[in-house]
Amino acid sequence: MRHSRHSLFAPALSRIAGGLAVSALAVLPALAATYIVPTDEVLIRKAEAVVRGRVVAVTPVALPGGGIETHITIEVARVVKGRVGATRVVVRQPGGEIGDRGEYYPGIGGFAVDEQVLVMLDTPSSDLYRVTDFALGNFTVLKGSDGAEFLRRQGLTDAFILSPSSGGNQAASPAGVTASDAEPDATAPLRGGAPSSTGEPDRDAAGFERYIAAVGAGLNPRADYVLPAPKATTDRFAAFTFLGSPPARWIQFDTATPVVYKDNASGDSGTLCSNGCHAQIASAPSIWSAATGTRILLQYGGTDDTVGAKCLADLDNQINFDDPCHELSDLSGCSGTLALGGFSSFSTSGGSPSCPAMGNPTFHKIASAKIMVNNGSGSCLGACDYTSMITHETGHTIGAGHSGDSSALMAAFLNHGICGTLQPDDLAFAQCVYPGCASATVTSATPVVGTTVKAIIIGTGFKGGSVVQIDAGGGFVNAPVTKRKTGKKLVAKDVGAIWPAGVTVTIRVLGKTGCESSTLQAIR
């Protein structure tokens, strides 16, 4: 799913997956999908059917448990593979918008009314289809300047793409062709639109349909449908981006309140992570909390026996494994959707921290975090890259979108061997959304004894609402009255009871938002 970006195709592709407008107190989940992209041949053989058609309806549906899914009605023009016994098919997708509620799942692809599509389909139920591996099996039909039709995967711009060398079973290059057919390094993003951000080419529509039909007939055709270069597009990535429109953030960090994540006690059943991958899950919150110059305070709270068979929408600051509700397509070897991660948010204020790089936006308030790891993912990654995957998905849960910086942890593809280490652009996001305290300092504290005792505090960075605190050995206590004279001078009044004569005390200044200054020892 795409954030709001200027694109040559945006007017025609107003997708359900776009930023949702919600009214007060609405809840908006936002997650992002993780994929290892299979060869086209693998994906075609995996799909039960492949059809060309036109989207005629996009209808959100309320689920009994309170979640939302969207039903997309496609008028079938032709069946390219398999059997479809109707002129229209209904495809179900997670998420959608009903009234003032919305669910948002970037990276799974979306649909627009009147859009021409080629879709690969599974049949998880008798009356509804599902797109095979979400964005991987969803192709928009577009026309080039020469009038020829070509196909493009639009949804992958907001997905997390892991290359086949992540470990475990090996898949082939993303488009089912050699890396050189796509670009010199298929794991590195080109700057530009949807295909280049994932390192895969556009496909000639007629040639790809012939290829699908041949594979479906059991043949091994040549992949001669790959276009030599992606078609031009005006879509561009910023460096770091926000997940959701408007963006959202945790306000708990502003008051030094931790947010605690837990994972299902069952752990990941895969073979390459030791002990259910709990150690990798535990490291992700600490990696983000250690981000310099920020106030992020995520904690791992251990395992949670209540997660059990919870579906994606029911998770509440929880990580679940093995896709118990079958919301993700099964992996083919180690290709497909590895994980989804994100949050639910309220349209109440999440504050407006100074973030000039992104225009100082006003944020919504994050309510809960959700990560679902697919069945078998733990057999596809080594411990280091698994840590990167979970830390990346955890980044989505605190509001981070994807980065256009190819070195970032939050890039749309995996950087091998960094083991979840935050890169400069990841820190830029964290410092923008969760800025650390302003660096107030205390350089001197002078007691003045008269009718009462007061203290003259000299330093820098003092702002309105600052409070002088004094610790005489039993912990910091607020001065009864603090008067701010300038940004360099405070007067604490009536402090005799908390600064006894002859006692060395520790003095600091507490800012209005909970930021603590440096400390100073003094005696009177």
Q: Which residue has the tokens 């639009």?
A: 154
Residue-wise pLDDT tens digits, 40-63: 999 999 999 999 999 999 998 998
Q: Which residue has the tokens 């005792």?
A: 453
Token output for 124: 């998880």
Q: CB burial class (10 A; 0-12, 13-18, 19+) of residue 361?
A: middle
Is the pLDDT at 296 greater than 90? The verdict is: yes
Looking at residue 192, its pLDDT comes to: 27
Cβ count near 123 (within 10 Å): 14
E strand or H helix that includes residue 68: strand 68-81
- CATH topology of 248-433 equal to that of 441-523? no
pTM: 0.56
Is the pLDDT at 348 greater than 70? The verdict is: yes
Question: Given pLDDT bands bounded at 50, 70 and 90, which one contains residue 142?
Answer: confident
Residue-wise pLDDT tens digits, 402-435: 887 878 999 877 788 999 999 999 999 999 999 8
Pick the CATH number of 441-523 from 3.40.50.720, 2.60.40.10, 3.40.50.620, 3.40.50.1220: 2.60.40.10
Is the pLDDT at 279 greater than 90? The verdict is: yes
Is-contact 422 409, C-beta < 8 A? yes
Looking at residue 23, its pLDDT comes to: 27
Spatial distance between the Cα atoms of 469 and 462, rounded to a whole number of angstroms? 13
Is the pLDDT at 176 greater than 50? The verdict is: no
Spatial distance between the Cα atoms of 275 and 278, rounded to a whole number of angstroms? 6
| DSSP class per residue in 372-405 | EEPTTGGGTS-HHHHHHHHHHHHHHHTTB--BS-
Spatial distance between the Cα atoms of 490 and 512, rounded to a whole number of angstroms? 14
N-terminal to C-terminal alpha carbon distance within the chain: 64
Pick the CATH number of 248-433 from 3.40.80.10, 1.10.3720.10, 3.40.390.10, 1.10.10.10: 3.40.390.10
Residue-wise pLDDT tens digits, 461-494: 888 889 999 999 999 999 999 999 999 999 999 9
User: How many angstroms separate the Cα of 36 from the Cα of each of 73, 198, 265?
Assistant: 28, 11, 26
Where do the domains of the chain lie? 10-20+38-168+191-216, 248-433, 441-523
Phi-psi region of 167 (alpha: psi -120 to 50; beta: other; left: phi over 0): left
Q: Could you give the percent of the chain with pLDDT greater than 90? A: 49
Looking at residue 163, its pLDDT comes to: 59
